Amino acid sequence: MDLLTLQPNTLTVDLKHPATGEPLGVTVELRSLESDEVKAVERGIKNRALKSGRNAVSAEKIDDNTTALLSAAIVSWTFSGDANLGGDKKPACTDANKRKLLAVPAIAKQIDLALGDEAAFFVSSASA
């Protein structure tokens, strides 16, 4: 196997209700935290932090940076059934809508957990 061809795939996650485990009717496609798109956001965050100097980090900024990284990892989504985002049953996968979705802590945690499973991004390529 040519190691230079080892690249992560996207991962599809069915979001679930935190209490019941029942599907919420939202499927999210995620790219790896190692993808070029997410790395570009991460580098931007680091560059801004380096330019601002010491002691310029707040808890709010850390939360905002986390949301930016999670948002960059979302490629697309599908809403079905009664699932909606503020009344919109077919919300566009825009940065603003990603932030709305990620403002729900239980959903942000599910996406964060899925992104932490690096092996899951390579499952289908291992069988190829």
Q: What parts of the chain have a pLDDT lower than 50?
A: 127-128
Pairing of strands 74-79, 11-16: unpaired
Angle CA(65)–CA(78)–CA(98) in degrees, nearest 5?
Answer: 20
Residue 89 within a domain: yes
Residue 29 within a domain: yes
Q: Residue 70 belongs to what domain range? A: 8-126
* Domain count within the chain: 1
Whole-number pLDDT of residue 58 = 83
Whole-number pLDDT of residue 26 = 98
Whole-number pLDDT of residue 57 = 78
Whole-number pLDDT of residue 124 = 64
- pTM value surpassing 0.85: yes
Residue 3 within a domain: no
Residue 70 within a domain: yes
Residue 1 within a domain: no
Q: How many helices and strands in the chain, by DSSP H and E?
A: 5, 3
